[in-house]
Structure 1
Amino acid sequence: MRRIAGLGTIFFVTVGLLLLTNRLTSEAQTVVTTILIEDQVVLPNAKRLGINLGVHDQFGASQLLKNVITNPGFESGEFATLLFSDESGTEQLFRQDNWEVAWNSPRVGQPVGFWDGARYEVLLGEAQGQQGTITQFEHSDNRLTFNVDPDGQGRQFGDEDLIVVRKPIAGYEANLHNRGSGVADPTETRPNSPGTQSLKLTPRPSGGAVFRYFMDSFGRDGDQTANKLL
């Protein structure tokens, strides 16, 4: 009898907990969240910000991105770097601190001439606010060296000035076949396109120029929601 009574007690407590849980869940489901959207513009012409969703790839789970092709409009991009200058700066040049030319490889560092024509801006330090153009990028004294043409009166670069350097790039990886060539053409855009350039293909006499972009069959054979989500 004690064993049965004990089981009965446990059963009663369990039912009571279930009833309490159901009641709390029911009350939680009745809460309504109201969002009011007004016509007032708080910040006009806001600069669009990019969101890092990880590596962009045309294979596997990366095809969850709605835009599988990395740059379907062949628009230009921007290559930029943040760096600190060392103590050897003058009004005409600065050198990158914490980096040696000997450490350059195909994956890191930049070759001579890479930053020619780029723009720079000093964000923090003795030359804060100074902007201008990189006239010549070279390797000297085992350092990445930036020769500059400042906008207006130049100032000497200080030790550990924080500088951003940026330059436009083509914005796409040309996977061309038949040995044709492809260059960005800023003089022509697609009809009704908000873009600023197109990809101009120039064929060789032996054959045409073809731009190809390969993707696996994940969307066709596996997840039918591929390239339809984000």
Structure 2
Amino acid sequence: MSMSFSEQLRRNAEPWWSGAVEHPFTVQLGDDSLPNAVYLRYLLQDYAFIGTLADHAALSIAAAPDMASKGVLAGFLAALTSAENDYFERSFAALGLEPAQYRAPALNPVAQLLAREMRDAQACGYADMIVVLACAEWVYLSWAQREAQKAPPTRFWLHEWIELHVLPEFEAFVAWLRAQLDSFGDLNAADRERLEQRFSRMAWLEQAFFDVLLTEQE
């Protein structure tokens, strides 16, 4: 039985894929041992990045080839701008930050590279835009599924972040993204190679994003 294109992309993205999914940051998050100062740095960067991700999702909706795809992506965008945004605001409040402190933080160098990768994908079209989304969201589903098997962290901002990424709706969205990736396996060799390179770059960036958070701790 031949390997699906999504699985091919994941395997070709090693060692960065496993480096992101199994990163000490994600393990410490699930163990409830991650220092608040480190998680707050993460939240600030991720919240700044969520705006970029929401824009990317909106542009993906516009580029989607059919109404069914537009509907799935619209559901993801709705979750980003409602439940997920609410989580961030409650977490910042619990960690003692005022809105002025988290609404426009400067992006660190890796977050800037992630934003650039998204802009580059947007210039290339729908398949590239889906590859960026699929890698990022599949990484989060993968580590969250592992950490959800542990006793939940006592701090709600850690516990709920895991929960958000193992919701049935999120699992279904990642399954849909993987099916989209599989459909790109019919593209020509040059397009497939470009998508493989983009997926691997995204996996590397996801690992690097976690790396820099723990490096800043030292």
TM-score by length of 1: 0.19
Q: Which has the larger radius of gyration?
A: 1
Q: Greater share of helix residues, 1 or 2?
A: 2
Q: Give the TM-score taking structure 2 as reference length.
A: 0.20
The structure richer in strand per residue is: 1
Compare relative contact order (CA 8 Å, sep 6+) and give the higher one, 1 or 2: 2
